[in-house]
Structure 1
Amino acid sequence: MDWVPIVLATFKVLVLGTGMFFAIKWHYDQGKKVEEKEKRAVLRAVGKVAAVFVLSLLGLLLFTFFLSRKLGLDLTFP
């Protein structure tokens, strides 16, 4: 029974490694096909998504802060 985790872990590493290799290769090949205009559009979309993520993270942080103050939690540093 001691060989089962070794075999399964080895299999898992091989499968995930192969999957990552082909995923990276596919994305690299797709990147070569993209024209300059499409690159700009993708960068603009990524910027918008990043901005929305940061703003929603800030909103969640403020909501958590105000909720914890409302519940009476002590948030001061020692």
Structure 2
Amino acid sequence: MTTLVSAREFNQDVSAAKRAAQEGPVVVTDRGTPAYVLLSYEQYNKLTKPAHADGHKLIEALSMEEDIDIDFAPVEITVQDPEF
């Protein structure tokens, strides 16, 4: 469960945000815009451990800056008149 708190609420009650982070991510907003995410260390480790046998990590995959081109096979659609 994601918890949403303002930066002001976070600064006024850090302990409550830490308790909420034990249940799920805590999104801290700055003037209504999500700015930071507080996670438990266990949740952070799950995100950063290798996701595949070849050692790729989710964090590394998300931070890839190069573009990836994928060529998809074109879809062939045949249109027929309905039979009544």
Larger relative contact order, structure 1 or 2 (CA cutoff 8 Å, min sep 6): 2
The higher radius of gyration belongs to 1
- Indicate the TM-score class for this superposition, using the shorter chain for normalisation: under 0.3
**Bigger share in strand:** 2
Larger helix proportion of the pair: 1
TM-score with structure 1 setting the length: 0.28
Normalised by the length of structure 2, the TM-score is 0.27
